[in-house]
Structure 1
Amino acid sequence: MRIFYIAAMVSLLQISASPSPNFQAILLGLCVFLAVALAVVTTAFVVRFKALREPREKLLDAIHKGRDGDYSQRVDYHKENGMGEICLAFNLLMDNIQENHRKVLLNEERYRLVAEQSQNIIYEYTFADDTCRFYSSAWKRLFGRPMEIPGFSKALETSEIIDTQDRQILTDVLGRFERGESFQRAEVRMKKTDGSWHWCSIRASVILTRQGAAERIVGRIEDIDRQKQENERLRIKAQKDLLSGLYNRETTQLLVDKFLENNGENGFHALIAIDIDNFKQINDTKGHLLGDQVISTFGEKLFAQFRNSDIVGRVGGDEFAVLMKNISQDQLERKASDLLQALHFSLEEDRETYTSCSIGIACYPQDGQDYVHLFQAADQVLYCAKRAGKNGYVLTDAGRLSFPAP
C-alpha cells in the first residue's frame, strides 16, 4: 500500500514539470491529499496491528501461566473482533479447568481425612523407579517406617517388619503383576513398633500403560489380626469336644490318619482306646449332670498324661482314643499303668463315686495302617480288659510282638 502511494506521488511530480501554473496548483493539492491519506492509512494499520498483537501476547502469556498451574488466568477481550472470540473461548476453558481443579482438591482433602481416620494404609508402588509411597500416617505410627521407600523390591528382601517366611509372598506378587495379572491379595505377618506381630491383609491392583505394561500398583494394608484370631478360635472350637476339651472324633481320626500317612514309617506308634468303667451306671443313678462332670474331669486328667505331640480325643460317649508317637514297649506299658492310677478318682462333688477305666492298645502298622483299623484292634482287646474285671489294660498280640528287642 505504502509503495503504491509513493509511486503515485513520483508520477505526479514528474507531471508537475508542465509550465501551466493552474495545473501545478492542482497537482500540489493532489500531493497533499495523497500524503494525508497515506498518513491516515498507516496510522490505522499500526492501530490495527497493535490491537491484534497485544491480545495475542496476553493470551500466550496466560496460556503459559495456566500450563504452570495458575488456573486463575483470564484475558480481556472485545467480542467484535476475531481475537476476542479466541480469548472468550480461552476464558471459558479456564473457568472449567479451575472448577474441576477445585473439585479435585476438595476430593483429595476428603480422601486424606478419611485415610487419616482409618487404620487402613493406602500405598502406591511405581515400577519405573522401584519406589513405594504411603499416604496414611498410620503407616509411620504403626510400623515406624518412612512414608517413601526407594529401592523397595530390594528392601523387601531384608525387611525386618515382614515375617521371614512371608517375604517371598510379596516378592511373588510383584512378579505376577509384571506377568500380566491385575489384582492380588496376600496375608502376611507384620511387626509393629511395639514389637508385636500382627496378621495383615495386603490388597493390590495394577495400573497399566497404554501399551499394556505394568506401570503402578495401588492398594491398601489392613490389620486383620483380630479376625485371624477369631477364625483360629472358631477352627479350634470346631475341632474340640465341648465337654471334655479334647479333640472330637472327626478331628482325632483326621489328625491320626494325616500323621501316619506322612510320618508313620519314622518310629513306633500306638493307638490307645480308653473306656470309662460303669459310666452308664453313674449316669443312671447319679444323673447326667454328674455324668457330665465325670467326662470333663476325666478329659482333663487324661490330657495331662500325654505330650503335646500326642493326639488325644473323645471319640464316643465314654470312649477316648490317644495316638502315642515314637515310643518303646516299656514306655507304652508304663504309660498304661500310669493311666490306670491317674484315671481312678472320685469327684469333689460326690466322694462316693469313683471312676476307673479299661484300656486296649494296638500298634502301627502291625494292627492297622490307619485310624479305623487301629481303633478296631484296640477296641477288641479293650473289651478283653473289661471281661477280665475292668480297671486294667491289654496290648494286642501283634502289638506286643512288634516292638524291637530291648
Structure 2
Amino acid sequence: MGTRVDALIKWILGAKISHADFVEKSVSSNQIALRIGSAFGVLFELCNICRVLFFSNMGYAMVNRLIYLRFYLIYLVCCAAFLIIDFFCSLSVMVRHRFYMISVGMILFWHLLFNMYNVYLSGAMAYFTIVTAVFFFSGFLMFKPLYTIISLGVCYLTYIWFINPIFSVGEIVNFSVTICLCILMYLIRYKHLRIEISQANQMREVQQELTDAQRDFRLTIEQYEMIREQESSITFEWDIQEDWIRFSKEWKHYFDHPESIPQFYDFIKNLEQLSSSHKEILLTCMRNIKKGVPYQKYEFMLPVKNGGNRWFEIRVITQTNKQSEPVLGIGILSDITDRKDRISQLEKEIQMDLFTGLLNKASIERYGKRKLSELREGEKLAALIVDMDDFKDINDQYGHPIGDYVLKEAADILRHHAPVGARIGRIGGDEFMVLLIGCNISCMETYAEEVISKIPRIHWNGIEVSPSCSMGLAVASTPNVSYDELYRKADEALYHAKQLGKNRLYSLFSEQTENN
C-alpha cells in the first residue's frame, strides 16, 4: 500500500524543480490570466452596478439591492486595486507571487459569499458563480498544490456546510464531483508544468555545456539517453547548413520514414499527409531556428505509421557558434496524445450535469448564446423549457431517493426522444432546457407532446409516482434577439402552461413572437 501511495505522489509531483523556477513560471503564467480576469471584472461589475441602480425591475427589497450593490462595489474595487498595483508597482517576483496568492484567495472568498447569498435569497440550488471561480482557478492559474487544495477545500467545505440542510444528496454529490474534477485537472496541469520546467532547465544546461571544441556542436549519446529516459521521447538534431536531420531510435516506433532525412525543410513542405496548419507550425519552427530563436515549444498532429494521427509536443533549442550564428536545432518530440485525451475528457465532464448526464446550466447557456450569434438567414433557434409539476410533493410524499430517480428518468426521456441536433441541459433542480437550431423546428411541438405523454409512465419498483411536466416554447429567428430575451419568452410560455392547468405545452411559436 505504501509503495502505491509513493508512486502516486511521485506521478503527481513529476520531476524535481527549484522553488525559484516554479515561482518565476507561476508569475509569468498567472499574470496574463489575472490581468484579463480583473479587467473583465471591472467592466462586468460596472454593468452590474448600473443595472442595480437604474435598470433593475427584479422586485428585490431595498435591503437586498443594497447588499448586491455592496457585493459589486467590493469586487470592482478589488479588481481595480489589483490592476493598479500589478501595473504600476515595482514588485519582485517573489512578492508578486504572494500578492497573486492573496488576490486569488480574496476572489474565491467573494464568489463563495456571493453564491451563498444567492442561495439564501432564492431558496434554489445554484452554484454557477462558485464553480466558475473554481474552474478559472484550477484551469488557468497555477500555484503550489498545498495552497490550491487548501483554498478549494475551504470553499467546498464551507459551501457544503451551508447547503447541506437545504438540498438533496444528489445536488450535493453533483457539486462535490465537480470540485473533484477541477482538482484533478489542476493536478494534471501541475505535473506537466513541472516536467516542462525541468526539461527546459535540462536543455539549457546541455546547451551551456556544449562548446565548439568539446562537442563539435553535437549532443553525446549519454546526454541523449539522459533526456530520453524521462519520457521515452524522440530526440533529434537538425543541421541548419546541411538541412539534414537525425532522429533517435524511438522515431521508428511511430513513423516509417528513415531516422536520417536530408533536405528536411523540403521534406516537410512536400509531405502530403500533413495538414496545412500543422505543416506551417513545423516550417515556422524551422525558420525560427534559422533566425536564432533560443527556445520554442509547439503542439501539432502528425500521421503515424499505423494510418492514424497522434498529437506531439516539440521542444527545441537553437545551438549557436562563437559568432552567435545558429548552426543546430536540438530538441525533443514527445507523444502527448494521452494527455490531450485526458484533458479533453475532463473539460467535457466539467460541462456536464453529472447527476443527469445532461449539459449543465452554464454550458447550455453558452451554447444558446453562440448559436444565436451564428444564426443565418432562414434559420431559427427554438428554446423549450421543461419544468416538473409539483415536484416538491413527490419528494415530500415518496422521499428524495425516488425524487432523484424521477429526475434521472425524465432526463433519459428528454434525451432519448430529442430531435436530431438538439442540445439538452439541466438549468435548475427540476427544470430543463432543450435548444434546437434549424430552418424547420416545428418538430419541437411534436417532441414536447411525446415527452408530456411519457413522463407520467415513470414508475419506481411498482409504485405509481405519476409525475407530470409543463413546457414553454419560444423561437428566435434573428441574431438581434439575446439569449436572455429568448429565455424570458420561453419562461413566459411556461407560466401560461402552468396557469392553464399544468401537464401541457404552451407555445409562443409565431412570427410576431419571434420578432418581438
Normalising TM by the smaller chain, what interval?
Answer: 0.5 to 0.7
Residue range with higher mean Cα deviation, 293-302 or 176-185: 176-185
Residue range with higher mean Cα deviation, 266-275 or 209-218: 209-218
- Give the deviation of 1:196 after TM superposition: 3.4
Equivalences for 1:6-405 in 2 at 5 Å? 108-109=221-222, 111-112=224-225, 115=228, 118-135=231-248, 137-159=249-271, 162-163=274-275, 165-263=277-375, 265=377, 267-307=379-419, 309-328=421-440, 330-365=442-477, 369-396=481-508, 402=514
Q: Match for 2:221: what amino acid?
A: E
* Residues 120 and 303 of structure 1: CA distance in aligned 2, closer, same or farther (over 3 Å): same
Q: Match for 1:361: what amino acid?
A: L
**Aligned partner of residue 153 in structure 1, secondary structure:** helix
**CA contact 2:312–2:334 (8 Å) conserved in 1:** yes
- Give the deviation of 1:172 after TM superposition: 2.2
**CA contact 2:240–2:290 (8 Å) conserved in 1:** no
Deviations 1:223-245 (A, max 9, x none): 11111111011101110001111
- Give the deviation of 1:264 after TM superposition: 5.3
Distance 1:268 1:380 in 2: 19
**TM-score, normalising length: structure 1:** 0.66
- Give the deviation of 1:331 after TM superposition: 2.6
* Residues 160 and 331 of structure 1: CA distance in aligned 2, closer, same or farther (over 3 Å): same
**CA contact 1:161–1:192 (8 Å) conserved in 2:** no
Structure 2 stretches of 5 or more lacking a match? 1-212
* Residues 110 and 226 of structure 1: CA distance in aligned 2, closer, same or farther (over 3 Å): same
**TM-score, normalising length: structure 2:** 0.53
- Give the deviation of 1:343 after TM superposition: 3.5
Deviations 1:202-232 (A, max 9, x none): 1112223444443221111111111111101
Distance 1:246 1:287 in 2: 23
**CA contact 1:269–1:364 (8 Å) conserved in 2:** yes
Distance 2:271 2:319 in 1: 25
Distance 1:342 1:269 in 2: 25
- Give the deviation of 1:355 after TM superposition: 2.6
Which aligned runs of 4 or more in structure 1 are off by greater than 6 angstroms? none
* Residues 305 and 333 of structure 1: CA distance in aligned 2, closer, same or farther (over 3 Å): same
* Residues 397 and 326 of structure 1: CA distance in aligned 2, closer, same or farther (over 3 Å): closer
**CA contact 1:362–1:399 (8 Å) conserved in 2:** no
Aligned residues: CA RMSD? 3.1
Distance 1:217 1:169 in 2: 15
**CA contact 2:475–2:513 (8 Å) conserved in 1:** no
- Give the deviation of 1:174 after TM superposition: 2.2
**Aligned partner of residue 355 in structure 1, secondary structure:** coil
- Give the deviation of 1:247 after TM superposition: 0.9
Residue range with higher mean Cα deviation, 109-118 or 265-274: 109-118
**CA contact 2:372–2:478 (8 Å) conserved in 1:** no
More helix by share: 2
Q: Match for 2:259: what amino acid?
A: M
* Residues 315 and 115 of structure 1: CA distance in aligned 2, closer, same or farther (over 3 Å): same
Distance 2:457 2:486 in 1: 28
**CA contact 1:269–1:326 (8 Å) conserved in 2:** yes
Q: Match for 2:488: what amino acid?
A: Q
Distance 1:399 1:393 in 2: 18
Q: Match for 2:294: what amino acid?
A: S
Deviations 1:306-341 (A, max 9, x none): 356332110100111121101436333223223323
**Aligned partner of residue 171 in structure 1, secondary structure:** helix
* Residues 367 and 334 of structure 1: CA distance in aligned 2, closer, same or farther (over 3 Å): farther
Identity of aligned residues (%): 28
Distance 1:172 1:106 in 2: 24
Distance 1:330 1:382 in 2: 18
**Aligned partner of residue 442 in structure 2, secondary structure:** helix
**Aligned partner of residue 325 in structure 1, secondary structure:** strand
Distance 2:236 2:220 in 1: 17
**CA contact 1:256–1:370 (8 Å) conserved in 2:** no
Q: Match for 1:140: what amino acid?
A: K
Deviations 1:255-278 (A, max 9, x none): 111121133555112111111122
Instruction: Count matched residues.
Output: 302
Distance 1:180 1:265 in 2: 50
| Bigger RCO (CA 8 Å, 6+ sep) | 2
* Residues 183 and 289 of structure 1: CA distance in aligned 2, closer, same or farther (over 3 Å): same
